[in-house]
């Protein structure tokens, strides 16, 4: 059975840091690109970042570039998102997702976790 | 970045109705377009990929069409369990991937 389970969300003050984790099973984790996608309360979906199979290629949305860092541990089928210098506008549910595609067409999200809520507030 | 304009933002229809949602890309994206369903409090679920291909296990009342800049998503026989928000998403010449603003579907 395919499972993606996020954890690590919570309440953090502006300027603070948080590390999200995504534990996977049943998805052949090491063979696929992975992404984080977020959704602010009552809003639509926003792609945040993705990482290739061995972690050597990473792409970030402009809104998080320089503040967020994606990484992965293929030995433990896990994905991470280190979030620094957090802002109120980063408040959202963060989903990890498996990504299919090739070349410049990496962007078919076929499996999603249940999400973890990050709230940035003083 | 490629902008995706989805319409309408919400709609209300009766059980059994045919429902159509449109998505327009700001530039040609070939058929690099996916559709997702998101039920309240849940993660999105892939329904249609490459504009018109049905994901395994998705009921055949869901369909997609289009290419270039104009795309259509249709529910041919609306069911109560189809209450959800639907999103289009492009993946042509990424990054970044971009999503439409969503269409909330309700039952009359």
Per-residue pLDDT of chain B (108 residues; tens, 9 = 90+): 999 999 999 999 999 999 999 999 999 999 999 999 999 999 999 999 999 999 999 999 999 999 999 999 999 999 999 999 999 999 998 999 999 999 999 999
Minimal CA separation from B64 to chain A, in Å: 15
B9 touches chain A (CB under 8 A): no
Strands (E), chain B: 4-7, 10-13, 19-25, 33-38, 45-49, 53-54, 62-67, 70-75, 84-90, 98-99, 103-107
Q: What percent of chain A has pLDDT over 70?
A: 100
pLDDT band at residue A104 under the 50/70/90 scheme: confident
pLDDT surpassing 90 at residue A101: no
Provide the mean pLDDT of chain A.
Answer: 96
Q: Is B35 on the interface with A (CB under 8 A)?
A: no
């Amino acid at each position: 059975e395919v499972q993606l389970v996020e954890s690590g969300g919570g309440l953090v003050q502006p300027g603070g840091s948080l590390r999200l984790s995504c534990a996977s099973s049943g998805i052949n984790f090491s063979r696929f690109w992975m992404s984080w996608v977020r959704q602010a309360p009552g809003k639509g979906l926003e792609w945040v970042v993705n990482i290739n199979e061995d972690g050597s290629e990473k792409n970030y949305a402009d809104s998080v570039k320089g503040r967020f860092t994606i990484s992965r541990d293929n030995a433990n089928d896990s994905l991470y998102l280190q979030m620094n210098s957090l802002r109120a506008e980063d408040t959202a549910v963060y989903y990890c997702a498996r990504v299919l595609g090739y070349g410049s067409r990496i962007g078919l999200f076929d499996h999603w976790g249940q999400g973890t809520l990050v709230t940035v507030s003083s | 970045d490629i902008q995706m304009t989805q319409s309408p933002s919400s709609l209300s229809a009766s059980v059994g109705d045919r429902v159509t949602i449109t998505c327009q890309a700001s530039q040609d994206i070939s058929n690099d377009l996916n559709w997702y369903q998101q039920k309240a409090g849940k993660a999105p679920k892939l329904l249609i990929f490459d504009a018109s291909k049905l994901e395994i296990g998705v009921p055949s009342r869901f369909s997609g069409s289009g290419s270039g800049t104009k795309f259509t998503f249709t529910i041919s026989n609306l069911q109560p369990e189809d209450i959800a928000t639907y999103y289009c998403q492009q993946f042509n010449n990424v990054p970044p991937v971009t999503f439409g603003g969503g269409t909330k579907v309700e039952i009359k």
